[in-house]
Amino acid sequence: MFTSFSIQAPLTAKDSELQQKIDNKTKPLGSLGSLEKLAFQLGHIQQTTSPEVSKPKMIVFAADHGVVAQGISLFPQEVTPQMVMNFLQGGAAVSVFCQQHNVPLRVVDVGVNAELGTHPLLGSRKVAFSSQDFSQQAAMTSEQLAQAIQAGVDEANLAIEEGVNLLMFGEMGIGNTCVSSCMMAALMGVSPEDSAGPGTGLNATGVSHKAKIIEQSLARAERDTGLPMAQWSAQTLAEQVGGFEILAMAGAMLQSAQRQTAFVVDGFICTVALLFAQKVAPNVVAYAVFSHQSNEKAHTQLLAHFGAMPILSLGLRLGEGSGAILAYPLIQSACVFLNKMASFDSAGVTEAKGD
């Protein structure tokens, strides 16, 4: 069994004071829109009227997936280690955006099907050289599941002990939109047709094939476990159809929340990791900042499930944590207005009259 989590919802003791501070800034009530809600959430999580996100960190988890053997991706599996090296060399989208915003980047190997060597930005927590093909057998053992979750826990602890006050997560793994779609179907009870999307650019025929592989994989898992999906525990679901990097992200989210640290959710795959984390410990969602709405079709349904209003909607479907880092300047702005903008009293500005 993987690590258990005891996550408390953020306390409400500061909420009234926090809302009053937001409302007393030199602006009409609510005129900064979603930025005000974001400022409130950050203050609520950090239990302060002066929240800070001055020490962020981006962690990208990487792994390979056996189900790629079923032709569910446009790209071959060797692209995963190639892209990991691109991250480390500073050439990927998430790399250049992290450089732009001075956010430290760490890439964590939890299951890449290659030896990656050593690099200052690389964390080596390899569980195995790829998961198994879950259309044929369980994706992983219980021991491997525990290792994957623990990899995320350890990375979150490492960052928080360094003084990080905002964690951002991303992923890399050819085939992981298929894995995420399969996990979503199992977790939410939606059809594979509704959870499967184009990923890296599949056409309609490719998406239909992906949905069929997901359907076959879930049927295989129900036969092997002797249980319908609706009765699967988090453990069973992850072992049968999970992915190492997705579960590591979930572990990092759960530990971040357990340590009362806000984290930024990227796109579709990262949101599925949160969906799994919610099954493990529902209060984890209170600590999640939703960065953007992905162009992957099922992401809209996922966001609706969480009642989330993401910061951005740019038609992204890259992954890597790219949406999370692009949202970071606006997360900073939420803190800046709350901490530095004048109040009506301090500026000597007359407030609006009541009705």
Which tens digit of pLDDT belongs to each residue from 174-233? 999 999 999 999 999 999 999 999 988 899 999 999 999 999 999 999 999 999 999 999
Active site residues: 320
Report whether 303 contacts 283 (CB < 8 A).
Answer: no
Buried (b) or exposed (e) across 85-111, using 16+ Cβ within 10 A? bbbbeeebbbbebbeeeebebbbbbbb
CA dihedral 10, 57, 234, 319 (to 10 degrees): 120
Q: Give the whole-number percent of the chain exceeding pLDDT 70.
A: 99
pTM: 0.96
Q: Which of 113, 332, 112, 149 is nearest to 258 (CA)?
A: 149
Say whether pLDDT at 355 is over 70. no
Q: Quick one: pLDDT at residue 351?
A: 84
Tens of pLDDT, residue by residue over 233-283, are: 999 999 999 999 999 999 999 999 999 999 999 999 999 999 999 999 999
Tens of pLDDT, residue by residue over 81-119, are: 999 999 999 999 999 999 999 999 999 999 999 999 999
Has domain 56-338 been given CATH number 3.40.50.10210? Answer: yes
Q: Quick one: pLDDT at residue 193?
A: 97
- Report residue 21's pLDDT band, with 50, 70 and 90 as the boundaries: very high
Name the strand (E) or helix (H) holding 166.
strand 166-172
Tell me what the mean pLDDT of segment 9-22 comes to. Answer: 97
Q: Quick one: pLDDT at residue 12?
A: 96
- Report residue 46's pLDDT band, with 50, 70 and 90 as the boundaries: very high
Say whether pLDDT at 338 is over 80. yes
Phi, psi of 8 (to 5 degrees): -95, 140
Q: Is 158 exposed, middle or buried (0-12, 13-18, 19+ CB in 10 A)?
A: middle
Q: Give the whole-number percent of the chain exceeding pLDDT 90.
A: 95
**Which token pair is 134?**
């879950």
Say whether pLDDT at 300 is over 90. yes
User: How far, in Å, CA of 126 to CA of 107, rounded?
Assistant: 12
Report whether 156 contacts 249 (CB < 8 A).
Answer: no
